[in-house]
Amino acid sequence: MRVVEVEPNVSRRVWLIAIAGMLAFAAVVASTYLLTRPTPLRIAVGPAGGADARLVAAIAAQLGRERDPVRLRILQKNGPAEAAKALESGEASLAVVRRDLAMPANGQAVAILRRNVVAVLALAHAGIEKVADLADHSIGVVGFTPQDQKALGAILAQYEITPERVRIVPVELNEISDAVRDGKFQALLVAGTVTGRSMSGAVAAMTRDGQPPKFVPVSESEALVQRLPVYESTEIVAGAFGGVPPRPASNVETIGFSHYVVARSSLEENIVGEFTRLLFGMRQTLAPEFPNIGRIEAPSTDKDADVAVHPGAAAYFDGTQKNFFERYSDVFYIGVMLLSIVGSAVAGFAGYSHSGSRSQQKELLQQLLVMLRAAHRAESQQELEELEASADEILGATLERAADNRISQTGLAAFSLALDQARQAIADRRAALRAQPAQVESPALWLRSSSMS
């Protein structure tokens, strides 16, 4: 008599549940890593050693110290124009640019890093009171780069002073005093923040024999800005450089321009929004080392603003920035759905495995019932011995299933009852055969070919 084969010792259902659990854990770990790992951004800034470069380096270091979700990788460029080109070419994701120079076509504002003013200073004895008086004079321009010379050209053009009527003398900040003493120029153009080193140094260097320089007003600054909106109409307030009497003695109208931090328009909104939040959040931390960081401003978010704001930065300024769960709610929703599908599949496989177990359990019980009926009709002791051996095999298979927890208590009780009845039937038939006269044993044991095998 054939006994149903025993399944492997380890339950298939346990394996399925374990595999599903490992897959779910791996999915959670992978999703968490991908969603929370720091995002590196390359920012172009220049020139090396300039005010912008030093500030950006401090910002990058602060982001690294705080283990923030955004990291900066600095790309040193020769100046704002080259930084703008790096953004346009895709070499950088962020850049520090000047509004009066070439703004990148694919750049959108994140913050106004600083506002610069353009100051035109004239020696006290030079007889220069207004911009028109600059004609036929030599004018020094701080720095050897052409950016500030472009601002001087815009001012002169507003007053219809042709380039041929002035002589431009590039000069470094530490060379101004010697150049003034040598009579190389009578007026000087310097651009920078009012409280910056360049501006205060230029005012001090242009002070001769105790007489401070005259601040030449650009009285038609608003008209100039109407024509060239890359500039801004602004003022240098009275006493901005201290002194008695104050320097300047009254407010001086002039033009200015801003340095922007811009982001590539294709950069993800949540990344730009997070960088904006971190940038404005670190102002107080860096203020002791960089006092001007407190002057970082939010650009205009108006739809008709001259410089378009990146949607990610605008969301931060408008208070509509999404938090982590709002940004990734769809991801979590899809993940829950996928886990539900996996769970259903596991349950289905487990049910299939369990149904197979019940089927085999039922077949064992059916074999015991067949043995019970066969025992009643047995014609020889040999048949009873074979039936008893089959019962022992079924008992061993059932015990293995019970050890692996693959048989229910109800099934175990039914099996015990059926096995007891089968053994009792074998014992009763054996006693009955012993009481009968010896008979010839049946030549064929029908049980061997029974459909129970």
Q: What is the per-residue pLDDT across 293-316, written as a single tens digit (0 to 9) for each?
A: 888 999 999 988 889 999 999 999
Domain 94-327 bears CATH identifier 3.30.465.10: no
Q: How far apart are CA 207 and CA 134, in angstroms?
A: 18
Q: How far apart are CA 356 and CA 365, in angstroms?
A: 14
Q: Higher model confidence: residue 121 or residue 389?
A: 121
Per the CB < 8 A criterion, the answer to whether 142 and 202 are in contact is yes
Per the CB < 8 A criterion, the answer to whether 43 and 343 are in contact is no
**What is the pLDDT at residue 26?**
61
Structure tokens at 432: 């009955």
Least confident of 25-29, 48-52, 170-174, 246-250: 25-29
Q: Whole-model pTM?
A: 0.66
User: H helices within 90-175, ranges in order?
Assistant: 147-158
CA distances 400 to 1, 2, 57, 394, 423, Å, are 19, 17, 70, 10, 20
How do 214-216 and 107-122 pair as beta strands? antiparallel
Residue 351 has pLDDT above 60, yes or no: no
Angle, alpha carbons 185-187-191 (nearest 5°): 120
C-alpha neighbours within 13 Å on the C-beta side of residue 245: 8
Per the CB < 8 A criterion, the answer to whether 407 and 430 are in contact is no
> Could you tell me which residues come within 8 angstroms of residue 7 by beta carbon, excluding any fewer than 6 positions away?
357, 360, 401, 404, 406
> Could you tell me which residues come within 8 angstroms of residue 393 by beta carbon, excluding any fewer than 6 positions away?
1, 3
Residue 262 has pLDDT above 60, yes or no: yes
Residue 3 has pLDDT above 90, yes or no: no
- Tens of pLDDT, residue by residue over 316-345, are 999 886 655 555 555 555 665 666 666 565
C-alpha neighbours within 13 Å on the C-beta side of residue 6: 18
Nearest to 382 by CA among 426, 335, 423: 426
Domain edges within the chain: 94-327
Task: Give the torsion through C-alpha atoms of 223, 259, 187, 173, to 10 deg.
Answer: 180
Q: What is the average pLDDT score of the chain?
A: 82
- Tens of pLDDT, residue by residue over 378-391, are 788 888 788 888 87
For the chain, the straight-line distance linking the first and the last C-alpha, in angstroms and rounded, comes to: 6
How do 94-98 and 39-45 pair as beta strands? parallel
